[in-house]
Chains A and B, each alone.
Chain A
Amino acid sequence: AIQMTQSPSSLSASVGDRVTITCRASQDIRNDLGWYQQRPGKAPKLLIYAASSLESGVPSIFSGSGSGTDFTLTISSLQPEDFATYYCLQYYNYPQTFGQGTKVEVK
């Protein structure tokens, strides 16, 4: 199975900060990568698909980049509602595998 190594596991930030989260795949997954936001008690929400495509309705402060094995999610200016946990997901092959998650907390 492809392993997804996500970092950091947590970070502290303030409203307005630029935040970067990375995911590394254990093998080439082309650009078959998604990013999700999960707020406590809620279902995950798809933010980015195909590594860099913004899901409909998602604010443009979210962006994704990368291909092959190294990927990045950037939040350009953190908003109060963005304090949440973020996950990457590879869907290049089965089993689909998630990163361990990054909890973005208030500094």
Chain B
Amino acid sequence: EVQLVDSGGGLVKPGGSLRLSCAASGFTFVSYNMNWVRQAPGKGLEWVSSISSSGSYIFYADSVKGRFTISRDNAKNSLFLQMNSLRADDTAVYYCARSLPPDYWGQGTLVTVSS
């Protein structure tokens, strides 16, 4: 069974940093592109970042470019999102999701940026 488990969210002050993780199981992680998608409270879905299966190709939304870094550890079946210089408008549930289009999703982890 495909499973994606998101973790690492929490309350952080503006300007702070947080690192999200996504633990994958039930499929050959190294064969799949991976994504982060977020959803602000009461709002729609917003694509954040994607990374190719090997990690060679990386894409970011303009809203996070230069502040967020996506990475993966294929040996540990894990996906990461390093978030720096966090702002109030980064407050959202962050989901990791497999493939293109994203077919399996994690349960999400809530990031709250507030002083």
Contacts and interface: CB of A to CB of B under 8 A. Distances in A.
A98 B106 contact: no
B102 A46 contact: yes
A100 B100 contact: no
B44 A98 contact: yes
A49 interface: yes
A47 to B, nearest CB: 11
Contacts of B35: 96
B80 to A, nearest CB: 19
B95 A43 contact: yes
Interface of A: 1, 32, 34, 36, 38, 43-46, 49, 55, 87, 89, 91, 94-101
Given A1-B62, A36-B45, A101-B44, 9 more contacts: A32-B101, A43-B95, A43-B107, A89-B45, A96-B35, A96-B50, A97-B47, A98-B45, A100-B44
